[in-house]
Structures are given as structure tokens and as C-alpha cells.
């Protein structure tokens, strides 16, 4: 209930008033219908009672229609607050180690659950509206019991106690199923991932290789594995419901039988019979488990998950935001050791390296040598197990370095050309600088209008080839470097380009980088010859360091790798 004000005072007030109307109308209707029947049996003009019944009927229907909309809007507003909280926590984490952990992923999935699954919505917003609904269902039951007590206080008290007792038992039985659903959050995420891949991620492969049955089978298997225990629990609960049905039947018989006997004795008129019976039905209605009970229970767990996420992100550990650099920074790695969470061996093991301000350094090595890991530590995405990393004297976990990184698996934003280039830096933006960055990246064949959408699924959207998307991503990195992010990292930036285009890229981009410390990672050694220095990593350390000519003269691994690649390339040319 403490989340209700998050929807806004006006919306919260409207929700409470509409729920109060829905709580009062049934009891008022029971009284009004009884008066109408008494008036008709007495032969009196029924205009007043008819007007009252019609007014209550209309009020109930209009209130119900408004309540549906207000409940939905309230729930979504509260959900927005929770999602914003989760976003803030995720964005404020100092690195990826916590973000990528199973504990964080499970809690994040619970906190922002969209409501997919078996009879559930874990949304905190639905829990808020469900709690308000339950409060006023209780108010309605008490109001009906009060009206029934005008006929028989013992009957009213007995029906209320039985109804609440049945509800408590039902809640205990059905809520145990929620534990089953929460037991396999990873399975629910996998089910969602498979369905998303089949529709978007692997759509071309599905058509080309006929993988519809493959994905359908995976989805069904995931659903059975995840929800099979839930379905078995549902059947078990249903088998234990027989005695509850018997108790409710006896209570309903009492609600009908005692007033009927009073009518036969002449102690109750027909109008009073209608009022008493409808009031009894109103009391018994609280015994039913509405969906609000599930909404509350699931939403509480989602809210608990959001609170746990906040506890996993202490504010004191968040690094200060990056500031635009006036000059190229110097980077130092000193005896850095790092092992990925859950790993059994260090990826970097005693790495010591200095990147001087303004120079271009190529980092090469075999797969698994630690090239991309070096970049992630430099950017502050992970913290080293031991050793230090500084950028102009400050650690990445203390102050974000002015870095822009282009990873091999770069992001294709469903946005305009301008937004795809300027996404890494805050506004204002300069279209002339955007076009210059695109030109330096060698991007061609793009829409002339920078506002043109690069979302292929949109009505007027345009898709690009792999090479064009890579050029746009390069332009994004270059634009950010020109706006003060003067530590430029290009991690396999030319993977989708041919050899000649790659060579042209390095001549155009790397050689043209002004007042920027540039780290270039590549497997194709022929394209890094223009770098000021070339670093070869082996076993998580710097094995060789020098210019292209110096490393060839040294005759080590770099020379062997370069000679092998050059021979393969020239052989292919012949």
C-alpha cells in the first residue's frame, strides 16, 4: 500500500473512491430491491424504489467500467516506478560482474515480470491495485454482514466467520503454487529467449533450414520442464477441495434456509427475504479467491526482488561519471590479475603495460589471450583481482575513463542515423560533426537525411548491410572521441570488412585520430602495421612489445603469425 501514492494523488484517490462505490453498491442494491418488492406487494407506487434500483445499477456499471481503466493505469504507473528503480540500480552498478550474475538476473526478472505464465502477474503495480481491491472486498462483506444482522446477528456472524475461514484455507493451498513458479526463474527466461529467437533473432535460419519444429520442440520442452511441477500442484490442490465445497454448500443453505423458514412462519415479509438472501450472498462472496490474491502475492515477491536488487548496489562503490578530456590520457596496468566469475584460471596474470598519451597501440594474440578482457577492465566493466589500472592517475572504478569502445558485437540501434552516431555522448549535437564522423568511418550508401530511421521493421525504416552497420558503429566511436572521449578502443572493428577495406580503414581512421590514445585489437596482423606499438599477449601477460619492424626482426610469435597470415593471403591472391 505504500506504493499507491507512486501512481499520483489524483489517480490513487479515484481508485479508492471507485472501489468504495463497488463495495457499497451490492449491499445498497440488496436493500433497494427488498424495498421495491415490498412496495410492489403492498400495491404502492414503485417510482421511488425503481429509481433507486436503476440508479444503483447504473452507478455500479459505470463505476466498474471506470474502475477497469483506473486500475490498469494505476498498476502501470506503479510498475513504471519499479522499473525506473531497477534501471537505476542496473545502470549504477560499477561493473558487469554483479549484473551478469544469476542472482541479479533472477531478481531482475522477478522485479519486472510482465505477467507471462500460469495464472499470474508478478507486477508490483497489480499488487497495489489487488490490495486495494481486497480491502474493499472486505468492506463489502462487512457491510453485507451488517445488513444481514438486522435479520439475525448469529447468522451474519457465522456466515462471515465461515467465509473468512474458507478463504484463509484456500489462500494457503493456492499460494503454495507460487513457490513452484518462483523455483525456476531461469527456466522462464530460457522459454522467453527461445520464443524471441524463433521470431526475431534466428528468423532467417528458421526459414532457410526449416527450424520451426526445432524451436517449437525446444519451447514445448522448456514449458513442460518449467511449468510441469506447477500443473501437478494445481491438480493436487483441486483434489483437496471437496470438503471446502461441502462447507460452502452448508453455509449457502443456511443463508437461504433461515430466511425462507422465517417467511413461512410469517416473521419475514417477501421484500425482507430478498434483502436478507442478497446480503447473505454478499457475505459469502468473500470466501472466493479472486485474482487479486495472486496479484498481491506475486507482486510482493517482485517488490522484494526490487529491494534486494537495491541492496546489491551500494551507492558508495559507484564510480564518478566520465568527463570530457582535454587531452589524450595515459593508461597504466600494473601487475593486473583477473579471473572471470566462476572461472578456473586467470585470463590476465601479472599484466604490466603503459599506453602513452596520444599513441596508437595494437594488441594482438591468439584467441583467449585476454585482448577483450583487457578492454573490459580498462573501461571499468570489471575490477581486477589484484594489481592496479589507472587512466591519468585515476582508477576506472573511481572515475569512469573518457573512453569510447567499439566491440565486435556492436549494437544496431533501432533509431535514426543521427541517433546511431551520437548515442555515446549527451546533446547538443552537431550535424556537421556527425557527417564528418560518417565520412571518416567510410560510411557510404546511407540515407542523406540524418533523421532517416534505421529500424527495418518500421514503415519507413531502412536496413543496412553488415559492413554499413559496422561503418555506422565506427562513426559512433569516432564522434564520441571527437567530443572528449579521447581514449578510443577498437575491438576487432573491421571483422565484417574485406582486407583492402580494412587496410583503408586503418589508414583513414587510425592514422587520422587526433589527440587520442587509441587501442586497436585485431586478428589480421597485416592491418596493424601503422600502429606506433604492437603488443602481443600470451598467457595473460605482455610477451612482445615493439613496432612492426622490431617484432619482425625479433623473430618471435608475432613474426611467425605475420608470416603465416601473409603467406595465406598471397596464396589466395594467386
* Full strand arrangement of the beta sheet holding 386-391: 348-355, 331-338, 386-391
Q: Per DSSP, what are the bridge partners of residue 519?
A: 361, 489
Average pLDDT for residues 428-448, to the nearest whole number? 88
Q: Which three cell numbers stand for residue 214?
A: 526445432
65-77 residue pLDDT tens:
999 999 999 999 9
Under CATH, which number does the domain 331-573 receive? Answer: 3.40.50.300
Q: Which of 21-25, 123-127, 490-494, 543-547 has the weakest average pLDDT?
A: 490-494
CB 110 within 8 A of CB 43: no
For 87, 115, 140, 305, the CA distances from 315, given in Å and listed in that order, are: 14, 30, 45, 18
Report which secondary-structure segment, H or E, holds 350: strand 348-355
Q: Give the whole-angstrom CA distance, residue 569 versus residue 574.
A: 9
Query: CB count, 10 Å around CB of 395?
Result: 15
Cell of 67: 474502475
What is the residue extent of each domain of the chain? 4-182+237-314, 331-573
Q: Is the pLDDT of residue 573 over 50?
A: no
Query: Do the two domains 4-182+237-314 and 331-573 of this chain adopt the same fold?
Result: no
| Beta pairing, strands 331-338 & 348-355 | antiparallel
In the predicted structure, residue 100 carries a pLDDT above the cut 90: no
Q: How far apart are CA 307 and CA 165, in angstroms?
A: 32
Q: Which residues contact 335 (CB under 8 A, 6 or more apart)?
A: 350, 351, 352, 386, 387, 388
Cell 433507486, residue located:
52
Q: Which three cell numbers stand for residue 413?
A: 540501434
Residue 479 has pLDDT above 60, yes or no: yes
CATH number of 4-182+237-314: 1.20.1560.10
Instruction: Produce one character per residue of 110-125: b if its CB has 16 or more CB atoms within 10 Å, e if not.
Output: bbbbeeebeebbbbbb
Other C-beta atoms closer than 10 Å to the C-beta of 224 total 11
- Angle subtended at Cα 194 by Cα 190 and Cα 196, rounded to the nearest 5 degrees: 115
pLDDT over 90 at 17, yes or no: yes
Quote the CA–CA distance of 66 and 254 in Å, as a whole number: 35
pLDDT, tens digit (0-9, with 9 covering 90-100), for 497-536: 666 666 666 666 665 567 889 898 887 787 788 788 999 9
Read off the pLDDT band of 316 (50, 70, 90): very low
User: What Cα–Cα distance (Å) separates residue 216 from each residue in 210, 211, 223?
Assistant: 11, 8, 11
Enumerate helices (H) and strands (E) in the chain, giving the number of each. Answer: 19, 9
* pTM recorded for the entire structure: 0.72
Taking the C-alpha atoms of residue 302 and residue 88, their distance in angstroms, rounded to an integer, is 16
| Phi, psi dihedrals of residue 488, rounded to the nearest 5° | -105, 125
Amino acid at each position: 500500500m505504500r506504493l499507491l501514492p507512486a501512481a499520483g494523488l489524483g489517480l490513487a484517490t479515484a481508485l479508492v473512491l471507485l472501489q468504495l462505490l463497488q463495495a457499497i453498491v451490492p449491499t445498497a442494491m440488496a436493500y433497494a430491491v427488498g424495498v421495491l418488492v415490498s412496495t410492489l406487494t403492498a400495491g404502492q407506487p414503485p417510482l421511488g424504489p425503481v429509481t433507486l434500483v436503476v440508479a444503483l445499477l447504473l452507478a455500479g456499471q459505470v463505476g466498474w467500467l471506470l474502475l477497469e481503466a483506473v486500475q490498469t493505469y494505476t498498476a502501470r504507473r506503479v510498475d513504471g516506478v519499479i522499473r525506473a528503480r531497477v534501471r537505476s540500480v542496473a545502470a549504477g552498478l560499477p561493473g558487469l560482474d554483479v549484473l551478469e550474475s544469476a542472482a541479479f538476473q533472477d531478481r531482475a526478472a522477478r522485479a519486472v515480470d510482465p505477467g507471462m505464465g500460469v495464472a499470474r502477474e508478478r507486477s508490483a503495480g497489480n499488487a497495489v491495485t489487488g490490495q486495494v481491491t481486497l480491502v474493499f472486498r472486505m468492506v463489502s462483506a462487512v457491510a453485507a454482514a451488517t445488513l444481514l444482522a438486522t435479520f439475525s446477528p448469529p447468522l451474519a456472524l457465522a456466515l462471515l466467520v465461515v467465509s473468512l475461514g474458507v478463504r484463509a484455507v484456500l489462500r494457503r493451498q493456492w499460494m503454495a503454487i507460487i513457490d513452484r513458479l518462483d523455483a525456476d526463474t531461469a527456466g522462464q527466461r530460457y522459454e522467453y529467449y527461445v520464443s524471441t529467437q524463433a521470431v526475431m533473432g534466428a528468423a532467417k535460419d528458421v526459414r532457410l533450414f526449416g527450424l520451426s519444429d526445432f524451436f517449437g520442440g525446444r519451447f514445448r520442452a522448456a514449458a513442460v520442464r518449467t511449468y510441469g511441477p506447477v500443473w501437478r500442484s494445481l491438480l493436487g490442490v483441486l483434489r483437496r477441495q471437496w470438503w471446502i465445497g461441502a462447507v460452502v454448500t452448508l453455509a449457502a443453505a443456511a443463508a437461504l434456509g433461515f430466511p425462507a423458514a422465517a417467511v413461512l412462519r410469517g416473521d419475514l415479509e417477501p421484500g425482507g427475504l430478498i434483502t436478507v438472501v442478497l446480503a447473505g450472498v454478499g457475505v459469502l462472496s468473500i470466501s472466493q479467491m479472486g485474482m487479486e490474491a495472486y496479484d498481491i502475492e506475486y507482486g510482493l515477491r517482485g517488490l522484494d526482488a526490487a529491494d534486494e536488487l537495491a541492496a546489491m548496489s551500494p551507492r558508495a562503490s559507484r564510480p564518478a561519471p566520465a568527463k570530457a578530456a582535454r587531452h589524450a590520457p595515459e593508461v597504466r596496468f600494473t601487475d593486473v590479475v583477473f579471473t572471470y566469475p566462476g572461472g578456473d584460471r586467470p585470463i590476465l596474470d601479472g599484466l604490466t603495460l603503459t599506453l602513452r598519451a596520444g599513441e596508437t597501440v595494437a594488441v594482438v594474440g591468439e584467441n583467449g589471450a585476454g585482448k577483450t578482457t583487457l578492454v573490459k577492465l580498462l573501461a571499468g566493466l570489471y575490477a581486477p583481482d589484484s594489481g592496479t589500472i589507472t587512466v591519468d592517475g585515476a582508477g576506472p572504478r573511481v572515475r569512469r575513463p573518457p573512453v569510447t569502445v567499439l566491440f565486435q558485437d556492436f549494437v544496431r540501434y533501432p533509431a535514426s542515423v543521427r541517433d546511431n552516431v551520437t548515442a555515446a555522448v549527451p546533446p547538443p549535437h552537431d550535424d556537421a560533426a556527425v557527417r564528418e564522423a560518417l565520412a571518416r568511418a567510410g560510411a557510404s550508401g546511407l540515407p542523406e537525411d540524418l533523421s532517416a530511421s534505421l529500424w527495418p521493421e518500421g514503415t519507413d525504416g531502412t536496413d543496412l548491410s553488415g559492413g554499413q552497420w559496422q561503418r555506422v558503429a565506427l562513426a559512433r566511436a569516432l564522434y564520441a572521441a571527437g567530443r572528449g572521449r579521447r581514449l578510443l578502443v577498437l575491438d576487432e572493428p573491421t571483422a565484417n570488412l574485406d582486407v583492402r577495406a580494412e587496410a583503408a580503414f586503418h589508414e583513414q581512421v587510425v592514422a587520422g585520430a587526433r589527440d587520442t590514445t587509441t587501442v586497436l585489437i585485431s586478428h589480421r596482423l597485416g592491418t596493424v602495421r601503422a600502429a606506433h606499438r604492437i603488443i602481443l599477449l600470451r598467457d595473460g601477460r605482455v610477451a612482445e612489445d615493439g613496432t612492426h619492424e622490431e617484432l619482425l626482426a625479433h623473430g618471435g610469435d608475432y613474426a611467425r603469425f605475420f608470416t603465416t597470415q601473409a603467406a595465406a593471403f598471397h596464396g589466395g591472391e594467386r
